[in-house]
Chains A and B, each alone.
Chain A
């Protein structure tokens, strides 16, 4: 082995050059346990799902040892098409609202004093870490038939409105639960924009809106893209929020998967649905990674 010309990265070159033993290298011992764990509890389960998804369903024996693509063909049925269309539509609306609300929040977090930023981050991340079921429960109390909103309407002498168990409620819940996933990457992206760029633009006569459109928006685009894809991919696979706040007849994809796995035991069908969602999500995530990496390279290359 040639001696490494860049000292400082290779730890213990004397061990490296002195070892003639063919034992596995140290890094394999360090990364091995977690890698093996992930193979057994991430790769194998996903492979198992893929396998289930091409087996024929049997009401008595769950899956027959007979290969078929029917489970995927079935997704073209009106029922499943509606299900996916609904899911993607609610995900899109959620993402848009998160972007609209996330920008002001992220801009404020990025440009405010460090002390306020610390408080702001705490108040953003603390709710994010509390179980989604608890935040949804709070919204049920607020929006319910005798909830805060309807009590206030009644006090004003107005008719109560049906808020809970509607699409509006689901979107409110989803935005509430996933907004931090939009605000955080946006904040990081805006922080990287030197604030003297903003000053320069304003000295040259740009008003705030021009400055936002020409400088902040383009330079924070990687943050917007990764935030959007993050919010989109988590909200299309959301279960708790639609299950507790949505209409029980108009559901989202994750609820269908839950029912087919745990209630009707149609595991082949559930597997094909799950895999379709995974592929949609992964394709989105990887394109996001690709776009942001490229954008980062362009930025550094300048």
Chain B
């Protein structure tokens, strides 16, 4: 027998989920509706706003040339940085190890808007022009901790004797890592990489400060369209992001059970 929670819990939980999902449902509904006045529930079904999205240079550039490119690069580079750092932290003992681990996760403690302002002011002082590269550098700061955390979790749950066995059979440390450890780490690596991509792909706080006119990412473009009272193409663009992120989260859940964020 289990401690029965009072009946009140379920309705509250239901209401909370409705509140969490309502804005997304409304956005998706508006994107398929014919009304230009954001009518919800939609009065019909049309792909008009998606056609508008793909016909708009600004939307297409922000989605394909900026958000996707920066996201994929951030995911890949953060995975390299983060995996190396995690292996160094977990598999070796040295003075100051815990301090370095805290340092590596520190970007998560700095409010994003302030990191963004700080990077903007640094770029300004060094006279660096805003581009997708300045944006990428900013994203790497906030993405890599997720990879570090994910790979540390994977390594801690793995028996180091497996590597030792490989080495006592004649493998070098590098061979042991690539032949034994890396395959076993596949799921932590993959979920770390996917999270890094998502964090970059959906970021707006850093991008507001760090992207120039030619490197506006999708969330910033959506932001300015909302401010200028744009049409439901905003909703179509949002729906595309929701779909991509929903799919990726589903994959992470399949391989890693979504415990990464906690």
Q: Which A residues lie at the B interface, using CB under 8 A?
A: 7-12, 14-15, 25-31, 33-35, 37-38, 41-42, 44-46, 48-49, 52, 101, 104-105, 107-108, 111, 118, 120-142, 144, 146-148, 176, 179-180, 184-185, 187-188, 195, 198-199, 201-202, 208-209, 211, 233-234, 236-240, 244, 254, 257-258, 261-262, 267, 270-271, 274, 277-278, 281-282, 285
Most buried by B among A7, A27, A201: A27
| B249 & A129 in contact (Cβ 8 Å cutoff) | yes
| A25 & B2 in contact (Cβ 8 Å cutoff) | no
Asked if B179 is at the interface (CB within 8 A of a chain A CB), the reply is no
| A45 & B222 in contact (Cβ 8 Å cutoff) | no
- Interchain Cβ contacts within 8 Å, total number: 287
Given contacts A108-B9, A237-B114, 13 further A-B contacts (CB under 8 A): A30-B87, A30-B92, A37-B81, A41-B140, A107-B5, A108-B13, A121-B253, A144-B38, A237-B113, A244-B227, A258-B117, A274-B117, A285-B109
Jot down 7 A-B pairs with beta carbons below 8 A, ordered by A: A11-B173, A38-B141, A45-B122, A138-B26, A195-B2, A267-B124, A270-B117
Most buried by B among A30, A42, A101, A129: A129
Query: Which residues from chain B contact A42 at a C-beta distance below 8 Å?
Result: 106-107, 110, 115, 141
| B253 & A141 in contact (Cβ 8 Å cutoff) | no
| A135 & B24 in contact (Cβ 8 Å cutoff) | yes
Total interface residues on B, CB under 8 Å, equals 97
Contact of A141 among B30, B245, B246 (CB under 8 A): B30
Most buried by B among A10, A137, A277: A137
Query: Which residues from chain A contact B55 at a C-beta distance below 8 Å?
Result: none
Query: Which residues from chain B contact A127 at a C-beta distance below 8 Å?
Result: 20-21, 23-24
> How many Å lie between the Cα of A229 and that of B115 in the bound state?
19
What are the interface flags for B108-148 relative to A under an 8 Å C-beta threshold, 1 for contact and 0 otherwise? 01111111011111101100000000000110110010001
How many Å from the CB of B197 to the closest CB on chain A?
Answer: 10
| B23 & A137 in contact (Cβ 8 Å cutoff) | yes
| A257 & B113 in contact (Cβ 8 Å cutoff) | yes
| B202 & A9 in contact (Cβ 8 Å cutoff) | no
Given A34-B82, A133-B222, the answer on whether A12 and B141 have CB atoms closer than 8 Å is no
| A257 & B117 in contact (Cβ 8 Å cutoff) | yes
Most buried by B among A101, A104, A120, A258: A104
Asked if B208 is at the interface (CB within 8 A of a chain A CB), the reply is yes
Contact of A31 among B23, B89, B198 (CB under 8 A): B89
Asked if B22 is at the interface (CB within 8 A of a chain A CB), the reply is yes
Asked if B167 is at the interface (CB within 8 A of a chain A CB), the reply is yes
| B238 & A137 in contact (Cβ 8 Å cutoff) | yes
| B111 & A133 in contact (Cβ 8 Å cutoff) | no
How many Å from the CB of A221 to the closest CB on chain B?
Answer: 16
Query: Which residues from chain A contact B115 at a C-beta distance below 8 Å?
Result: 42, 45
Give residues of chain B (213-250) contacting chain A, Cβ–Cβ below 8 Å. Answer: 218-219, 222-223, 226-227, 234-235, 238, 241-242, 245-246, 248-250
> How many Å lie between the Cα of A107 and that of B13 in the bound state?
9
Query: Which residues from chain B contact A33 at a C-beta distance below 8 Å?
Result: 81, 84-85
| B2 & A131 in contact (Cβ 8 Å cutoff) | no
How many Å from the CB of A260 to the closest CB on chain B?
Answer: 9
**Who on chain A is nearest to B100 by CB?**
A31
How many Å from the CB of A185 to the closest CB on chain B?
Answer: 6
| A12 & B164 in contact (Cβ 8 Å cutoff) | yes
> How many Å lie between the Cα of A130 and that of B2 in the bound state?
35
Query: Which residues from chain B contact A238 at a C-beta distance below 8 Å?
Result: 113
Contact of A131 among B100, B122, B202 (CB under 8 A): B202
**Who on chain A is nearest to B201 by CB?**
A131
Asked if B36 is at the interface (CB within 8 A of a chain A CB), the reply is no
| B27 & A134 in contact (Cβ 8 Å cutoff) | yes
How many Å from the CB of B77 to the closest CB on chain A?
Answer: 9
| B109 & A202 in contact (Cβ 8 Å cutoff) | no
| A142 & B125 in contact (Cβ 8 Å cutoff) | no
Give residues of chain B (1-58) contacting chain A, Cβ–Cβ below 8 Å. Answer: 1-6, 8-10, 12-13, 16-17, 19-27, 30, 37-38, 40
Query: Which residues from chain B contact A134 at a C-beta distance below 8 Å?
Result: 23-24, 27, 219, 222, 238, 241-242
Asked if B204 is at the interface (CB within 8 A of a chain A CB), the reply is yes
**Who on chain B is nearest to A276 by CB?**
B114
| B241 & A130 in contact (Cβ 8 Å cutoff) | yes
> How many Å lie between the Cα of A131 and that of B23 in the bound state?
12
**Who on chain A is nearest to B258 by CB?**
A121
| B113 & A239 in contact (Cβ 8 Å cutoff) | yes
Most buried by B among A52, A132, A134, A180: A134
**Who on chain A is nearest to B85 by CB?**
A34
Asked if B169 is at the interface (CB within 8 A of a chain A CB), the reply is no
| A41 & B13 in contact (Cβ 8 Å cutoff) | no
> How many Å lie between the Cα of A28 and that of B234 in the bound state?
47
Query: Which residues from chain B contact A133 at a C-beta distance below 8 Å?
Result: 204, 219, 222-223, 226
> How many Å lie between the Cα of A7 and that of B165 in the bound state?
12
Given A37-B140, A41-B140, A45-B118, the answer on whether A31 and B85 have CB atoms closer than 8 Å is yes
| A141 & B24 in contact (Cβ 8 Å cutoff) | no
| B107 & A38 in contact (Cβ 8 Å cutoff) | yes
